[in-house]
Structure 1
């Protein structure tokens, strides 16, 4: 049963997504939309019944002497991952399939912000900014072309930034959230923290709210406190140091695709915008690229951004197959 359904997803995958959602906290809110989907066709109803049977089979598997929780933990130790065999045990396998590694929106998820229940790993494509809700109530917003691996278990909350940038709104918990990036890590609880991992291996951690600690090497106990409004950097030499001008790296609205700069070279600003661009922007003259610019820019909107830069500097915009070229008139 793989015929395309809502938003071109296979009907059976949409059914699994609904199965998870209708057992979640938003079930009543989504009831009308779910009922409409279910009654839309016999194929939808059949797919949903099939998903329910799979969930029931998982519930039986949980109590099996051969495959159940106790036996598995005796062989492998406590299971790490998104869910343990607890209140949501029967949804474990279905959630991975239904939501997908990139957190793609299914019925009942709002558009625009692309908020989703996340499955491991979390990942965004070029030009995409997406927010995921974690199982502990925390939220992770990933910048363009970013990846965050997540491993939760009893007594531990842990994520790893593999590439790109993430803003974590960390829910309060019995243990802090451990955020690995490069060779180091940050820990935070009931806080909002940004981490960015550059291709060079340099990590910048900036705190918007609450308190956190950062260490340049996870194997070394030496840590440095991170206070709200400040930023720390480390790597690739693993030396931990304060960022001299934290305002330059603490971008409050990057989750909406905006960037504010008091002073930045035009070439560097265009490079930031190109992280989101399907067709890159090229400044044809080096002297133009070296000019200073300040202001608030919607860098995730490539065409509008190029037009604004052209107006500010009196440049001509020429769209070619390879790039959007900015040149002197």
Structure 2
């Protein structure tokens, strides 16, 4: 079964979201729900699956044999018991949402009150190596911050501004009369009612992937260097702000699923896969020989769990795996 977190199956979390989104105030949770739904294709499939099951149970409930006619013949005490059970189920399902919304299964060190940590104005959001964390802003927008990243927040009545100092973030932006402005180096991304990823490398390279809606992107304040990026498009700029031609880089292949800690690759060299995985590693995976580095793999890897990746690669390619003080080493037997 696909997992939504380390603790709860994805169908359980999908059921909890269904309860919340059919509750009294679904709009209050819209941003969080959209971020969870877009984090992985498994999430969308699970939600559709649970919705169909609910529809089927509604048909059964209205049938003469199993439905309300039979229910109404039972005692008032039994009906009261069911009402209490229903309320308890809702509370339990909501609790699952609160615990599971930490995308990628990384533990959230903070209050669980609303499912994601609340980000306040001028508060920097930071993740350590190996962490993937979720935050919600006062306007309902959400951010999923990748490992070893820093996002600076400045929300006021006149403007909504963020600055990505390093790393990667997935933003789900609510519709608002104040568009959200995200700065990363000399690049500025402006959007509203949209979902997108922004990555900012140490060398100053900037990448943007649109998942929903559109965004305006410009560099250095020059209007002639602006463009509008529609849904489904990806763009990357070098440190000087020059747009780079499309390339099937490892980062692009896993762009949809990274908030859940997973990466899908059609084909990737082991040294590239290891480089991505090491972004989450306390101790790195080390490839000891060129032949191993040049091997190619395909499939789905949970790169947020480096030791699991190393063990899987050792099994796939019959590699020798050795754990040392400086990291986990892979080499030909």
User: TM-score category by the smaller chain?
Assistant: 0.5 to 0.7
Post-superposition Cα deviations, 1:33-62, rounded to whole Å, max 9, x if no partner, equal: xxxxxxxxxxxxxxxxxxxxxxxxxxxxxx
TM-score, normalised via structure 2 length: 0.64
Post-superposition Cα deviations, 1:121-158, rounded to whole Å, max 9, x if no partner, equal: 01101100000001111001000000000111122111
Contact 2:250 2:273 in 1 (8 A): no
Matched, 1:328 2:315: no
Matched, 1:179 2:194: no
Contact 1:253 1:259 in 2 (8 A): yes
Which residue number in structure 1 is paired with residue 76 of structure 2? Answer: none
Task: Name the CA shift for 1:328/1:254 in 2 (closer, same or farther; >3 Å).
Answer: same
Matched, 1:214 2:233: no
Contact 1:216 1:235 in 2 (8 A): no
Matched, 1:255 2:259: yes
Q: How many residues align?
A: 226
Task: Name the CA shift for 1:242/1:157 in 2 (closer, same or farther; >3 Å).
Answer: farther
Matched, 1:199 2:185: no
Map 1:106-255; keep pairs closer than 5 Å: 106=111, 108=113, 110=115, 115-119=116-120, 120-220=123-223, 222-241=225-244, 243-245=246-248, 249=252, 251-255=255-259
Give the 3-state SS of the residue equivalent to 2:292 in structure 1: helix
Give unmatched runs, 5+ long, in structure 2: 1-24, 26-107
Give the 3-state SS of the residue equivalent to 1:308 in structure 2: helix
> Alpha carbon RMSD of aligned pairs, Å?
2.2
Please identify runs of 4+ aligned residues in structure 1 that moved more than 2 A. 106-110, 216-222, 240-248
Task: Find 2:312's aligned residue among 291, 308, 311.
Answer: 308
> Structure 1 or 2: larger helix share?
2
- Report the CA distance between 1:241 and its aligned residue: 4.4
Task: Name the CA shift for 1:304/1:278 in 2 (closer, same or farther; >3 Å).
Answer: same
Give unmatched runs, 5+ long, in structure 1: 1-24, 26-102
Task: Find 1:270's aligned residue among 265, 274, 280.
Answer: 274
Give the 3-state SS of the residue equivalent to 1:311 in structure 2: helix
- Report the CA distance between 1:266 and its aligned residue: 0.6
Which residue number in structure 2 is paired with residue 96 of structure 1? Answer: none
Q: Distance in 2 between matches of 1:303 and 1:247?
A: 19
- Report the CA distance between 1:211 and its aligned residue: 1.0
